[in-house]
Amino acid sequence: MDVALWFLALGASVVPIWILWRAGRKAKMLDLRLAENDSSLLEEDGLIITQMNAVPPGTQITHNAHVVMVPDNGPQM
């Protein structure tokens, strides 16, 4: 019975340690990707961009906008 309790205690200790390690690793990778200006962060699931720094003056930010690329056919009259 004592051995089973030790395994239960070990299992109960490993899970929180693993959660903390995973969160730290995820935060470290996020910091690295931010430092490298990784543009794929804008489309990544689970990340919500709430603040943008170093945008040109006069920039208008529209939340949840769908961007549609339209080909430029040259000057139109």
The answer to whether 52 and 61 are in contact (CB under 8 A) is: yes
How confident is the model over 12-22, as pLDDT tens digits? 899 999 999 99
How confident is the model over 17-58, as pLDDT tens digits? 999 999 999 999 988 988 888 878 878 887 777 777 777 787
In angstroms, the CA 12 to CA 60 distance is 49
> Does the predicted model carry a pTM greater than 0.85?
no
Residue 29 burial (CB < 10 Å; 0-12/13-18/19+)? exposed
In angstroms, the CA 2 to CA 31 distance is 44
In angstroms, the CA 30 to CA 24 distance is 10
In angstroms, the CA 49 to CA 76 distance is 37
pLDDT of residue 11: 87
pLDDT of residue 72: 75
